[in-house]
Structure 1
Amino acid sequence: MATVSDFVIQRIQEWGVSRVFAFPGDGIGEFDGALGKADRAGEGLKYVRPTHEEICSLMATAHAKFTGEVGVCIATSSPGAFHMLNGLYDAKMDNQPVVAIVGQQGLNALGTFTQQENNLERTFEDVAVYVQTIVSPQQAQAVIDTAFRTARVRLGPAVVVIPHDVQGMEMPELAPANWVSRSSAVAPSISIVPPQSEIVKAAAIINAGSKVTFIVGHGANGATDEVLKAAELAGAGLITALRGKQVVPSEVPYHSQQLGLLGSLPSLHQMSGCDTLVLLGTNYPYSQFLPESGQARAIQVDLKPEQMGLRYPTELNLWGDVKATLAALIPHLEQKTDLSWQTTVSDEMIEWENEMEAQAMLSFKDGVNPRRVYHELNKRLPEKAIVTADAGTTADWYGHHIRLRRGMMGDLSGRLATMLAAMPYAVAAKFAYSDRPVICTIGDGAFQMLGMNELITIKKYMKEWDNPQLIIMVLHNDDLGQVSWEMRTEDGNPLWPGSQDVESVDYAGWAELVGFKGIRVRSDDEVEAAWDAAFAHQGVTLIDAYTSTNVPPLPPHITREFAKNTVEALLKGDPHGVDVIRDSAKALVTEGIERVKGTLHIGQDRTETDG
């Protein structure tokens, strides 16, 4: 007898899913039993069980991000379901297709205040693009298919709730009947192309511009060749959103990396000087860094129409897939002969990279320069490497120093920017691409949340990976660093140790306890050897980098408000005030010297060319 659970498992596989991230419990027990039966028969899904349901949903989201497939997570009723919310909001806010299957108490218990019974549909109503409880076997097919279709088309998480007794009910063959939908496990195409008339309008706008800039997001993933060809024809400078870093290879000289607080000065200059702005698969949230209203004609291409025209007054919004839309647009673009705009971006990027290296080479009294840790990692990234970063200063250093070459991948929790995501992202990446080297970069605060637990998950599953190399680098500064700086720069408040201190732990020792290689880095001159040793080790390595807490994550342009608030915070008695002043001054002096040197160098080159 095939049950509803048996059917759902088979249907999930028909949707192309081979791996689920799950945590068991009695509310999903009948379904878990069916998973076990299918596994013993050699017909099951690969069942990955991390240490917490939040990790399950973050792994499912990361799987969707790295593969383009639908990620699937499974948990029990109320407590397990509630734990998954954070990862599902990560999927929602970064537009990723995820299906969550959660258990529920039996049908007769609904609304009776029994143990672990809550209104899960109401709970998931905000986060889910589709949420539905299966209340009969005849309904199961349509609900599962609708969940997968909706997640794929609307680019967000769908939630299917299955009461415990329904999980074990006999699944009949569906016949024509009133109120019974017979659906299909066929994914709809999302290769949407706007009407030809809109394509022609977009081409005319781009062709008319002399200083064109593309901002490229993760929504352009898979469209690298089309983005580069369009930029070549348009003479455009390229900026990538933080999650779009892997779309445009760092080898492209007029790719000025990111924009904003963790971006580059050339990107900021592009925004202040461009006359045409093209947003490709991005809902870049920091509108204060975009051009002045009326300065640039703007176009946006995206599969999320409700998110278009929000950050800047666009002239044309194209509802479409970036790859397919650019393929239709490219034949209408005229080849620019004046490439001075691209040349300016390229020249400024040389200066900026010199500045980033100079910042990385600074030494600080209270620990290793975290910039140097990332700088040396970037120099050693192997082919097809995958890099994850966490929320906080790791995102700053990832943006400033990591350069993903063609074929490399990198990601993090974007719009939600939740802490601890770097670890489940890295492990999910390793499951998806077990032959690739994966590097997780994470702060000690995030690592203490749930990241330390995931070393246990890695130990459990690493024998299944073709290449066991996984490197975790922990920035160990005993401080919630990003929040400390935000308290100073945004609110003018001094660091408050009661909220900001992180208890020091021997992270390398914990890795060694689990059976992995641990490396401690306590000085700048140990950084290079640590990375060399980690990449030479064919296994799991944790680098415990004892870094300075006072290295300022300097934006490319320091506003008056930024400076004013920082001074106010220090005057109010910041416990690290003296070190912050000294280290910030050192960074600012280096920044100024490098920019002057770069300006002189660029000016000399242009004089020689003109002569």
Structure 2
Amino acid sequence: MAEIVSEVLIRALERWGVDTIFGLPGDGINGIMEGLRRRRDTMRFVLVHHEEAAAFMATAYAKATGRLGVCLATSGPGGIHLLNGLYDAKLDHAPVLAITGMQETSVLGTAYQQEVHLERLFEDVAEYNQMITNPAQVPGLVDIAVRAAYGRRGVAHLTFPNDIQIADAGENPFEIVAPANPPKTAPVYLSPPVRPSDNDLNKAADVLNNGGRVAILAGIGARGAGRLVERAAEALAAPIIKTLPGKMVVADDSPYTTGGIGLLGTAPSADLVDDIDTLLMLGTNFPYTKFLPSPGKVRVVQVEIDPTRVGNRLPTEVPLIGDVGATLEALLPLLHRRKDRGHLEKYQSQMSDWRSKMSALEKPDRNPIAPQYVAHMINELAADDAVLTCDSGTVATWAARHWQIHGGREFYLSGNLATMAPGLPYAIAIQHAFPSRQVIAYVGDGAFAMLMAEFSTAVWHGLPIKVIVNNNNSLGQILWEQMVLGYPEHGVRFGQPVPDYAAWARAAGGHGIQVDKAEDLPDALRSALSVDGPALLDVMVDPNEPPMPGKVSYDQAKKFASAFLRGQPHKAAIATTLFKDRIQQLRTH
């Protein structure tokens, strides 16, 4: 049997260590599917229900493993469906290769059925973006695409017309320069230099050593360098603020951290930002500048691997271009241990008080069930090396505050895109990458409903993910955003009857439980976590529990009150919930 171009494609990916492709077949990629069939002993194809989920899975796989994530979609609408997941990869800097189909070269430009020029559509999302028009291109362009995805930390895209997919592997119709034979050894991506110059390191040390009140802002770029970050915090007596994607950089019980920043952050972090005169930014391009110090108010040292991102958010006095770990290794010997620990101790005390307030909201004595209690019980019963994936929305608030990073725990969500629905496909991809670890998807009912068919995907592939649906029968985050803007709620609460997602899980062949009483939650969660296979726990939570900012501004409070006065239909229930929250926090003191 003659080798076809699609086999060359798959073999080229295998040389880069790729062993998994997430996707959905279609007539625009039948040739590639045949290539996958012929290489099925060395390349696994993970069949999904929706191309958007395939792109999310490739993104999660890349985030969790550091390896290339690969997704596959047919021409036209299939490729279009990839875009949301690919933008998630682009904005969170995950190396992903998207492979799509295209109509035969002989009909391109004739408005043929499903003729969507994906190489044009993907121009914004892709760092490297090519349509293959000659079989001879394939080995070389695959290598360039993979290097671009790794080197630029983003999306590469290759689209294959149908006739090219099934062409003879050695065909060279235009008689161009003969293609180079692929090297015998596996290709290698070499990272650029990651250590700043001694001159820049000395400048940074001078700024940090002379700071009066220093803080560290750590993002996902500091992942793997947590101990070094804590050593810097110890030397500078500097509290560590964590971005949400950077939640797993240091443990949540670290004596140095004040937790998160922004709407989902903590009150101590908000106070700290207003108090400092010097900021060390480590591997973060945190976009919400209103939660950062005012420009010019603080001296800034920023460690960033990509020089184009330095100073994007704050004027940066000393940029250090490099890997966070390698940079801190070189910087730490230059830092003087600060004798005055008052600044750090002040925020350690505030953080102790914050933890007490959060603990007060985790009590089991409220019905409807408090979502904070659900997140707390997941935290209590999950394994020490569990991976939690999360959707955007109110669940992100509960996860940020009540899912505690310690041991080998990890946490993933759509950071900068903040899209709905990645939680479930993320869990599927990460469970595939780490079959022996406990992987939990903590999702809202609105997001779960978008891609709920992928629970069946987990069943098909025997992936024992655990899905916890925080079911408030509404688009909870939008509800509260409307109120903070001073608008009475509109279009954010779903109707009756409430869908039974546990019944869907059972119908799909998994384990499904629904809980609507707090006293039943612990046993139901233990049961779900102990199932040897996919399980879903549908928890009916209080829809009137507000995801309040760590520190409420006067303007937010005024608009919140205005929404009540302008006809908020659930103001009695919301007021009751807020009153109960306050009572429980006061009891702890």
Q: Deviations over 1:102-154 (max 9, x none)?
A: 11011111111001112211100011111011111222122111111111111
1:179 Cα offset (Å): 8.9
How does 1:86-101 map onto structure 2 within 5 Å?
Answer: 86-101=84-99
1:181 Cα offset (Å): 7.0
Aligned partners of 2:192 and 2:543: how far apart in 1? 45
Give the number of aligned pairs: 582
Aligned partners of 1:48 and 1:221: how far apart in 2? 28
Equivalent position SS for 1:360 = coil
How does 1:136-535 map onto structure 2 within 5 Å?
Answer: 136-172=134-170, 178=177, 185-190=187-192, 192-361=194-363, 367-450=368-451, 452-462=452-462, 468=464, 470-490=465-485, 492-496=486-490, 498-501=491-494, 504-535=498-529
1:532 Cα offset (Å): 2.6
1:536 Cα offset (Å): 3.3
Aligned partners of 1:292 and 1:441: how far apart in 2? 35
Alpha carbons of 1:69 and 1:312: their partners in 2 closer, same or farther (altered >3 Å)?
same
Aligned partners of 1:5 and 1:220: how far apart in 2? 38
Q: Which residue of 2 aligns with 1:32?
A: 33
Aligned partners of 1:426 and 1:75: how far apart in 2? 20
Equivalent position SS for 2:347 = helix
One-letter amino acid matched to 2:247 = K
1:180 Cα offset (Å): 5.8
One-letter amino acid matched to 1:199 = L
8 Å Cα contact 1:359/1:591 also seen in 2: yes
8 Å Cα contact 2:136/2:178 also seen in 1: no
Alpha carbons of 1:213 and 1:557: their partners in 2 closer, same or farther (altered >3 Å)?
same
Aligned partners of 2:97 and 2:261: how far apart in 1? 32
Equivalent position SS for 2:258 = coil
One-letter amino acid matched to 1:15 = W
Q: Which residue of 1 aligns with 2:570?
A: 576
1:593 Cα offset (Å): 6.7
For structure 1, list consecutive stretches of 5 or more residues without a partner in the other structure.
598-611
Alpha carbons of 1:362 and 1:569: their partners in 2 closer, same or farther (altered >3 Å)?
farther
Aligned partners of 1:536 and 1:180: how far apart in 2? 54
8 Å Cα contact 1:552/1:587 also seen in 2: no
Aligned partners of 2:382 and 2:139: how far apart in 1? 45
Aligned partners of 1:561 and 1:527: how far apart in 2? 37
Alpha carbons of 1:346 and 1:502: their partners in 2 closer, same or farther (altered >3 Å)?
farther
One-letter amino acid matched to 1:432 = A
Equivalent position SS for 1:257 = strand
Alpha carbons of 1:272 and 1:183: their partners in 2 closer, same or farther (altered >3 Å)?
farther
8 Å Cα contact 1:106/1:165 also seen in 2: yes
Deviates more, 1:421-430 or 1:320-329: 320-329
Aligned partners of 1:420 and 1:245: how far apart in 2? 20
TM-score between the two structures when normalised by the length of structure 2: 0.95
One-letter amino acid matched to 1:247 = V
One-letter amino acid matched to 1:500 = R
Deviates more, 1:376-385 or 1:17-26: 376-385
1:14 Cα offset (Å): 1.0
1:361 Cα offset (Å): 2.2
1:364 Cα offset (Å): 5.1
Q: Deviations over 1:408-452 (max 9, x none)?
A: 1111011111111100011111011110011111111111111x2
Aligned partners of 1:287 and 1:431: how far apart in 2? 37
One-letter amino acid matched to 1:208 = N
Deviates more, 1:391-400 or 1:215-224: 215-224
One-letter amino acid matched to 2:111 = F
| 1:559 aligned to which of 550, 553, 556 | 553
Deviates more, 1:499-508 or 1:77-86: 499-508
8 Å Cα contact 1:149/1:187 also seen in 2: yes
Q: Deviations over 1:235-275 (max 9, x none)?
A: 22111111111111123122122111111111112211122
Aligned partners of 1:202 and 1:150: how far apart in 2? 31
Aligned partners of 1:333 and 1:489: how far apart in 2? 43
Aligned partners of 2:479 and 2:76: how far apart in 1? 35
Aligned partners of 1:299 and 1:126: how far apart in 2? 31
1 or 2, which has the higher helix percentage?
1
Aligned partners of 2:59 and 2:375: how far apart in 1? 25
1:499 Cα offset (Å): 4.5
8 Å Cα contact 2:132/2:158 also seen in 1: yes
1:173 Cα offset (Å): 9.7
8 Å Cα contact 1:478/1:501 also seen in 2: yes
Q: Which residue of 2 aligns with 1:609?
A: none
Aligned partners of 1:319 and 1:168: how far apart in 2? 45
8 Å Cα contact 1:7/1:171 also seen in 2: yes
Aligned partners of 2:455 and 2:541: how far apart in 1? 22
Aligned partners of 1:459 and 1:264: how far apart in 2? 38
8 Å Cα contact 1:253/1:349 also seen in 2: no
Q: Deviations over 1:204-242 (max 9, x none)?
A: 212222322111111112222322222222222111111
1:308 Cα offset (Å): 2.1
One-letter amino acid matched to 1:260 = G
